[in-house]
Structure 1
Amino acid sequence: MIDEQTNRRTNSFWRELPILVVVAFVVALLVRVFVLQTFYIPSESMEHTLDINDRVLVNKVVYKFRAPHRGEIVVFKSPTSWRSDPSEEDFIKRVIAVSGDHVVCCDAQHRLMVNGRALDEPYLYRDSNGAADLPSEEPFDVTVPRNRLWVMGDHRSHSGDSREQFLRTRDTNAATIPEESVVGRAFVVFWPVSHAKWLTVPGTFDRVPLPPKA
């Protein structure tokens, strides 16, 4: 009797296993498509906040309910004009300014200014001697168009970003990205384990005032 019950349970398990596998696959697919996705870092443009081959986890839901905020690190579908390689579709940068913001480089201490407030940028790349990248090697003065974002890499001298595009084209639309192109917010580095950390918003962005009224 016990053997028969055991056999029935065993047979039931093997019959249900394919269903469980399919359900698990569907759940994983739905999570990836709608909730969370992993991305790897292919370039040095965000060093050393994000190093080459780091893996980050991206929240794909948050911007369904609000627009990106200054200081957040976002993955977005890059404009074709930004790509040195046509296959480089997903970019990752830091949001420096949002719709309506006035961005100027630079003040007397060579700091970026957003809406008249200077940014202290502790995340900027530093070389082996401790020397930090400049916020920008060339001056600029822009107002971010409606529903668009000004994004920059933390390794400014090695980043194809809003600054680089504006200095090349002098076109604010070409130099910014539409909010709708953002895939999600990168919020944690999970691999390699030695690099694991939360990607929080630096406090300097808390002190940026609202954009001036048009």
Structure 2
Amino acid sequence: MPDGRDGTGDDGPGPDDDEDKPGKKPRSFWKELPLLIGIALLLALLIKTFLVQAFSIPSDSMNNTLQRGDRVLVDKLTPWFGAEPERGEVVVFHDPGGWLDEAPENDSGPVMEGIQKALSFIGLMPSAEEKDLIKRVIAVGGDTVECRKGGPVKVNGKALDEPYIQRGDTPCDDQPFGPVKIPEGRLWVMGDNRDDSLDSRYHQTLDKGTVPVDDVVGRAIVVAWPIDRWSTLPVPDTFDQPGLSAAAAVAPSALGLAGALPIVLWRRRRLIAKATADQES
């Protein structure tokens, strides 16, 4: 007889309870695989879009720092926080207009070319974008840069010590330039292989040879491939020397203002005191 509580009695779980049901069969690996691949591709696309992207070095213009065929990782996150390229950084940027007259031929065939474009789109292969270049930032907006034949590159009158340029090259003997005043929001860039780099020196008819900051994809931070060439790409010490910043040029004015301020305040106090004395008399 039912005990008047729930109609099931208190003799323990019945045959229909969950404890007696067999465990739920896990989904097969092959059914899970498309989901895993989709998640991996989505993460790769997000990383490539917002964090880092791989680029392949297509020429010898950055020897010996970067060699043809090297793969570098480019930081794309920092610019999202408003940071702009600084002197000495190696940056990837879009062709500002006419620097690359024609894209290099791709003889890998249409199928492989399509695969590379697809994989580079999601960041699993170096970029297939043919209109990107990689150079070193030498001067930024507000700087004055120049280089005379037989001399060093100078930024705001300070000579650069450039151990990173290709051994045997001169700083600019093949193409002396300047002085050039860099417009705000633009960069003066040069390759480390000075005798084989069509950089800012060779494009001065368009915006003084400068590159818009907005065209910069990001900063190259690591040589990731081949393994035996793995290395970071720090800013050389020469770009940290005192007085290199264009702000140093206004330092005398600032010092003059600081020196004049006490005199102005002293004179003002004398005038106030004199006016008070005249009123009391």
Counterparts of residues 87-102 of structure 1 (less than 5 Å):
88-102=130-144
- SS of alignment partner, residue 37 of structure 2: helix
**2: CA distance between counterparts of 1:40 and 1:19?**
30
Q: CA deviation at 1:110?
A: 1.1
Name the counterpart of 1:210: 245
Name the counterpart of 1:118: 159
Q: 1:159 aligns with which of 197, 205, 210?
A: 197
- SS of alignment partner, residue 166 of structure 2: coil
Name the counterpart of 2:72: 56
Q: CA deviation at 1:210?
A: 2.1
Q: TM-score, normalised by structure 2?
A: 0.66
Name the counterpart of 2:261: none
- SS of alignment partner, residue 84 of structure 2: coil
Pair 1:68-2:104 in alignment: no
Pair 1:176-2:192 in alignment: no
Structure 1 window deviating more from structure 2 (179-188 vs 134-143): it is 134-143
- SS of alignment partner, residue 179 of structure 2: strand
> In the alignment, is the contact (CA less than 8 A) between 1:150 and 1:177 conserved in 2?
yes
**2: CA distance between counterparts of 1:14 and 1:158?**
52
Pair 1:105-2:147 in alignment: yes
Structure 1 window deviating more from structure 2 (89-98 vs 202-211): it is 202-211
**2: CA distance between counterparts of 1:198 and 1:17?**
36
Name the counterpart of 1:196: 230
Question: 1:36-58 deviations in whole A, cap 9, x for unaligned?
Answer: 10000000000000000000000
RMSD of aligned alpha carbons: 1.9
Q: CA deviation at 1:196?
A: 0.7
> In the alignment, is the contact (CA less than 8 A) between 1:80 and 1:86 conserved in 2?
no
> In the alignment, is the contact (CA less than 8 A) between 1:71 and 1:94 conserved in 2?
yes
* Bigger share in strand: 1
Q: CA deviation at 1:15?
A: 3.5
Q: CA deviation at 1:34?
A: 1.6
Q: CA deviation at 1:18?
A: 2.2
- SS of alignment partner, residue 101 of structure 2: coil
**2: CA distance between counterparts of 1:64 and 1:174?**
27
Q: CA deviation at 1:165?
A: 1.5
Q: CA deviation at 1:13?
A: 4.3
> In the alignment, is the contact (CA less than 8 A) between 1:36 and 1:57 conserved in 2?
yes
Q: TM-score, normalised by structure 1?
A: 0.86
Q: CA deviation at 1:14?
A: 4.1
Q: CA deviation at 1:140?
A: 2.2
Pair 1:136-2:169 in alignment: no
* Residue correspondences, number: 198
**2: CA distance between counterparts of 1:185 and 1:21?**
29
- SS of alignment partner, residue 83 of structure 1: coil
Q: Which entry has the higher C-alpha Rg, 1 or 2?
A: 2
**1: CA distance between counterparts of 2:177 and 2:38?**
56
> In the alignment, is the contact (CA less than 8 A) between 1:105 and 1:140 conserved in 2?
yes
